[in-house]
Chain A
């Protein structure tokens, strides 16, 4: 019975659906599809609203028909959101922030993942005294809302001169992603067959060799999950960017907030929606490209708890 409960995830068999493929369309099957389709409508509705609103003109929006298709779809709002929407004196839209967000994400994602991967690897196979304590503290930290430590961190970062710099914001993202990512990786590595590691040790491989030759290649599914999680979190981050990134590195989300919060006369809902979509695009694209891996990775890392 324990064997059944401890079914090792990470194996492909655990992910595929179970049982024979149903052939007939019984009422029960119709009911299932109906439920799923209704649920899908609930999920897709906001996306529909976002896209159609961004393609409408303002007078059409004021008619209050949020579900209707645009009568004369136009990308004007998109151009404005990207290029000319005003915040204060500068009318440059979201563009300036885009590259800053790229910079921040491109640095923070790989660094935070690498560190968490090493953590998980070390915790699973090379435990030293005190490692578990650090890990427990990290887990505790996962629950700690960052607002609790935001103020001491500002003071701390400013003392080492990293406040308002790119390295500073990268460090922030690494710190706050470490708990969940390390948990993911540790669970993943712990679920791998023990022979793998033992065999490598018998062959005389050391810490770094096993890591690079065996563990790294094996951890692709979970790494994809980690990438998705981190890109989503870091790309969409607002508060950290506003506080810690510094003037030169203001991410896109800050611009988005400005555009949405400011109105020059009338609130331009279509521009706001276009701006929202543009801001969300990167993490959405990454998600669409890798959805299946996401589920596999969650199964591998999260089910063991």
Chain B
């Protein structure tokens, strides 16, 4: 009985609040268009609509680069969406500098985001100079290899635990008519660049990598360790197939799902595809952390920014969305669907499958958690890296020396 009055009061207040407030449309631009991604974004959309009143307006634009470009153009033109997806890092620094983004600090402080969001690399991508400019929604790591168990069984080999083991197994796979190394070349080479980045981190270690990409040390960029990375990438090229030109990432993952290919280096968002296809980890496919004996977990992921709309009703709806995206229940549903890791610890991940549990274990160990290299530099730089890697991969005339020289050049001119 004691609880009765407060409950009634809250309900009355809520009813009054909803009737007094105008429902708003929140347009969200994102690039989640594959099967697993679509399941995840539906969680967000349905949960938001279920909160009542305001509506999620979905504007999906295929391919991250295209979607981000559309957001930027609309921001430029003065007609930005209410919310937009980005990757944590510097992709949105100009938007902050231009004062176009909604300051989420009051909401963040009220809900205690600084204490909840982990690890630091993710928190600091949104919590900049004491203010919160975006809400992180998940953690994705590129450092994963995905192996088709039947493919390896066919040639009588165990699923490789690191790249050396894979390279040793590759010729046998090729002989057996299986595509040893599945990679896709679409979108200006982002997959190739990402794959090379994975090898880079494994082979250089995090200190050397950060020296080059964060501190812009050109001498290190010209060094022999980097040469070895280029050589390794080049040696993998012969194990991929003709169809890799222009193939998108989930079609490539599909090759592994259907056992036409043996191995793919891809971020943990690939797990969503396996799950939508009904495959079981440990039975149909294996997720190899690293792929290395001492794997890293690099913390990329997705964040959402909210553009100022100069309308208090819309702003209220935007803040409601931000709060919803980070609350534990929605985090559990969303990340389970997407195959990513939640940005807070108090999330019920009991439904997580074996691969996600591996990821969670790595996340708990601070020694393995490193920042995503894309966070250090601007999108312009990252795109130029994509150009470098895609040319190196597909053009046999570009030598290791030329590619490395170009790399040093990029580091020297980076801003």
Contacts and interface: CB of A to CB of B under 8 A. Distances in A.
Q: Is chain B found bound to chain A in the same assembly?
A: yes
A263 B81 CA distance: 25
Interface in B158-194: none
Interface in B27-72: 27, 30, 32-35, 38, 41-42, 45, 56-63, 70
Contact of A262 (B56, B62, B76, B277): B62
B251 A158 contact: no
25 contacts: A86-B33, A86-B38, A87-B33, A88-B32, A88-B33, A88-B41, A88-B58, A89-B38, A90-B58, A157-B77, A242-B70, A243-B70, A243-B73, A247-B79, A261-B63, A261-B248, A263-B251, A263-B254, A264-B35, A264-B276, A265-B34, A265-B35, A265-B277, A266-B251, A266-B254
B76 A155 contact: yes
A182 B79 CA distance: 32
Nearest to B75: A158
A280 B38 CA distance: 27
A264 B34 CA distance: 5
Nearest to B187: A261
Contacts of B56: 89
Given A88-B33, A89-B58, A158-B79, 18 more contacts: A88-B41, A89-B38, A89-B42, A161-B78, A164-B74, A164-B78, A242-B70, A247-B79, A258-B61, A261-B33, A261-B62, A261-B248, A262-B33, A263-B250, A263-B251, A263-B254, A265-B273, A267-B251
Contacts of B27: 247
A246 interface: yes
B62 A158 contact: no
Contacts of B42: 89
B288 to A, nearest CB: 22
Contact of B78 (A158, A242, A261): A158
Smallest CB-CB A-B distances: 7 pairs: A88-B60, A163-B77, A164-B79, A262-B33, A261-B62, A264-B35, A158-B78
Contact of A89 (B45, B63, B251): B45
Interface in A99-156: 154-155
B79 to A, nearest CB: 3
Contact of A257 (B57, B62, B76): B62
Nearest to B30: A88
A266 B273 CA distance: 10
A212 to B, nearest CB: 38
Interface of A: 86-90, 154-155, 157-158, 161, 163-164, 242-244, 246-247, 254, 257-258, 261-267
Interface in B75-103: 76-79, 81
A157 B79 CA distance: 11
A163 B76 CA distance: 9
Nearest to B62: A261
Contacts of A258: 33, 60-62
Nearest to B186: A261
A88 B76 CA distance: 24
Interface string B224-250: 000000000000000000000000101
Contact of B38 (A243, A254, A264, A267): A264
Residue among A86, A246, A264 with max Cβ neighbours from chain B (10 Å): A264
B79 A154 contact: no
B58 to A, nearest CB: 4
B59 A88 contact: yes
A55 B41 CA distance: 31
User: What is the interface residue range for chain B against chain A?
Assistant: 20 to 34
A192 B353 CA distance: 77
B33 A247 contact: no
Interface string B252-275: 001000000000000000000100
A129 to B, nearest CB: 37
Given A242-B70, A247-B59, A263-B250, A164 B77 contact: yes
Contacts of B63: 261
A265 B276 contact: yes
A163 B277 CA distance: 42
Interface in B11-37: 27, 30, 32-35
Contacts of A267: 251
A89 B41 contact: yes
A163 B75 CA distance: 10
Contacts of B45: 89
B73 A87 contact: no
B81 A87 contact: no
Contacts of A244: 77
Interface in B264-313: 273, 276-277
B304 to A, nearest CB: 14
B73 A247 contact: no
Nearest to A254: B61
Contacts of A157: 77
A179 to B, nearest CB: 24
A87 B33 CA distance: 6
A263 B62 CA distance: 10
Contacts of B34: 262-265
Nearest to A261: B62
Contacts of A158: 76-79
Nearest to B73: A243
A157 B78 CA distance: 9
A57 to B, nearest CB: 17
A261 to B, nearest CB: 4
Contacts of B79: 158, 163-164, 246-247
A90 B277 contact: no
Contacts of B70: 242-243
Contacts of B35: 263-265
A237 to B, nearest CB: 15
Contacts of B32: 88
A247 B73 CA distance: 12
Nearest to A159: B78
A89 B81 contact: no
A264 B74 CA distance: 28
A150 to B, nearest CB: 9
